[in-house]
């Protein structure tokens, strides 16, 4: 994946971000935008983290992404991400599938 040189990925998780039944990949990155690799259903992926609102903080800054948890933390039936950050940065939870499906 040559297109991601310069990204500092620390944690990768599988998540069906657009709820199409095909696994996608979220990568928490340190000091660079996080990545969301959407499954093209043909063995390839396309990067859409910025488009789907999960690349940067709410105020548009790169964060020190460290770890990621996946689950339905608010029990609404949609999978969420919880991304932890480097010290002095707030941890972020994102209703990822809700954001991802709203852009399709």
Contact 49, 33 (CB under 8 A): yes
Q: Which is nearer to Ca ion, 16 or 62 (CB)?
A: 16
Contact 17, 52 (CB under 8 A): yes
Secondary structure element (H or E) that encloses residue 45, with its range: strand 45-47
How far is the C-alpha of 58 from the C-alpha of 67, rounded, in Å? 18
Q: Which is nearer to Ca ion, 14 or 57 (CB)?
A: 14
Pattern 18-57, binding to Ca ion, x per CB under 5 A? x-x-x-x--------------x------------------
Does position 76 interact with Ca ion (CB under 5 A)? The reply is yes
Q: Point out which residues bind Ca ion (CB under 5 A).
A: 16, 18, 20, 22, 24, 39, 72, 74, 76, 78, 80
């Amino acid at each position: 994946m040559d297109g991601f040189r310069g990204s500092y990925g620390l944690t990768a998780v599988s998540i069906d971000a657009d709820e199409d039944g095909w696994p996608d990949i979220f990568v928490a990155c340190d000091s660079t935008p996080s990545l969301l690799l959407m499954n093209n259903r043909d063995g390839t992926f396309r990067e859409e983290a910025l488009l789907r609102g999960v690349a940067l903080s709410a105020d548009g800054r790169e964060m020190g992404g460290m770890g990621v948890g996946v689950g339905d933390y608010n029990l609404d039936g949609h999978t969420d991400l919880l991304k932890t950050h480097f010290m002095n940065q707030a941890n972020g939870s994102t209703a990822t599938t809700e954001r991802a499906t709203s852009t399709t």
